[in-house]
């Protein structure tokens, strides 16, 4: 089982943090002496720390940047449409 400390900097992964969580797109943005700072992208960006030796429940796969951007764009489209709808109501 992989640990968070084994994840590479500036690399995208699909992971499941625990048995009850959804699969999420994350990237490692910083390694400290004891922790790893990750950014979860879907459905919105959120940063969180994990200990180096903390196991990743399930490392689904490493994802290239192009695929990560495609996944992000799927979530950005509905938000943009929703924003346009809100603006129309305000007028």
* Spatial separation of the C-alpha atoms in residues 2 and 87, rounded to whole Å: 46
Residue 11 has pLDDT above 90, yes or no: yes
Name which of 58, 49, 55 is nearest 22 in CA terms. 58
Q: What domain range includes position 71?
A: 4-90
**Are residues 13 and 29 in contact, defined by beta-carbon separation less than 8 angstroms?**
no
pLDDT higher than 70, residue 81 = no
* Domains: count for the chain: 1
60-76 pLDDT, tens per residue?
Answer: 999 999 998 888 888 76
> pLDDT tens digits for 12-55?
999 998 899 899 999 999 999 999 999 998 777 899 999 999 99
């Amino acid at each position: 089982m992989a640990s968070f400390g084994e994840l590479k900097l500036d690399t995208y992964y699909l992971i499941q943090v625990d048995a009850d969580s959804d699969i999420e797109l994350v990237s490692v943005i910083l390694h400290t002496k004891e922790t790893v700072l990750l950014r979860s992208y879907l459905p919105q960006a959120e940063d969180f720390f994990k200990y180096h030796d903390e196991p990743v429940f399930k490392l689904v796969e490493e994802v290239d940047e192009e695929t990560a951007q495609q996944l992000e764009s799927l979530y950005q489209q509905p938000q943009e449409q929703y924003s346009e709808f809100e603006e129309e109501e305000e007028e």
